[in-house]
């Protein structure tokens, strides 16, 4: 089951929220900053142990002061020219995050629109990749059973609404 929400991902009471992190995993702006702020300093302490994360991969931590139990940190690609593996790397972020949710037998997971802020990925292509990666996973596996797309801005909300036919 896929649902679309508008607003702040840090408020959601789900098994895992996904963070659009950077390769250092040491925090940043946008959704990353909001997640670290809401989770508290213990999140950064746990993130340090990974010594970073390559683009397209994902790592999991506890949620600390967040209502979400866990945070899945994934590193989206920076948009360059569209010919530098950006679509494949973005798809890989969704797949890797969903694989962790499957491994941990999570029921619910919430995604922000990875790479569509500071990283400049075109929102429409990003929404198509996100939706198709999630649908492909849900067709094959029982976990997670509930996937939330969280749109922070109006553009993303409208795009997801249109592409999800809701």
Member of 14, 18, 20, 133 binding ligand ADP (CB under 6 A):
20
Closest CA to 63 of 35, 33, 21: 35
Member of 108, 112, 130, 159 binding ligand ADP (CB under 6 A):
112
Give phi and psi for 88, each to the nearest 5: -65, -40
Read off the DSSP letter of residue 28: -
Angle at 51 between CA 80 and CA 72, to 5 degrees: 70
Is 32 designated active site?
Answer: yes
- Does position 144 interact with ligand ADP (CB under 6 A)? The reply is no
| Number of chain residues interacting with ligand ADP (CB under 6 A) | 21
- Does position 113 interact with ligand ADP (CB under 6 A)? The reply is yes
For ligand ADP, the closer of residues 120 and 142 by Cβ is 120
Read off the DSSP letter of residue 77: P
Closest CA to 71 of 113, 125, 24, 21: 21
**Nearest distance, CB of residue 142 and ligand ADP, angstroms:** 26
Task: Cite the active site residues.
Answer: 32
Binding site for ligand ADP (CB under 6 A): 8-10, 20, 30-32, 34, 76, 112-119, 150, 152-153, 156
């Amino acid at each position: 089951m896929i649902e679309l929400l508008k607003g702040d991902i840090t408020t959601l009471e789900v098994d895992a929220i996904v963070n659009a992190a950077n390769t250092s995993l040491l925090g940043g702006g946008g959704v990353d900053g909001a997640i670290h702020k809401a989770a508290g300093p213990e999140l950064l302490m746990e993130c340090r142990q990974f010594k970073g994360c390559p683009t397209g991969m994902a790592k999991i931590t506890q949620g600390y002061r967040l209502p979400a139990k866990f945070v899945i940190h994934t590193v989206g690609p920076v948009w360059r020219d569209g010919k530098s593996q950006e679509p494949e790397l973005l798809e890989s972020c969704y797949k890797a995050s969903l694989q962790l949710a499957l491994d941990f037998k999570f029921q619910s997971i919430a995604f922000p629109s990875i790479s569509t802020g500071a990283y400049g990925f075109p929102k429409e292509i990003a929404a198509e990749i996100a939706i198709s990666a999630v649908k492909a996973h849900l067709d094959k596996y029982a976990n997670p059973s509930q996937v939330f797309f969280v749109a922070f801005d109006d553009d993303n909300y409208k795009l997801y609404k249109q592409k999800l036919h809701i």
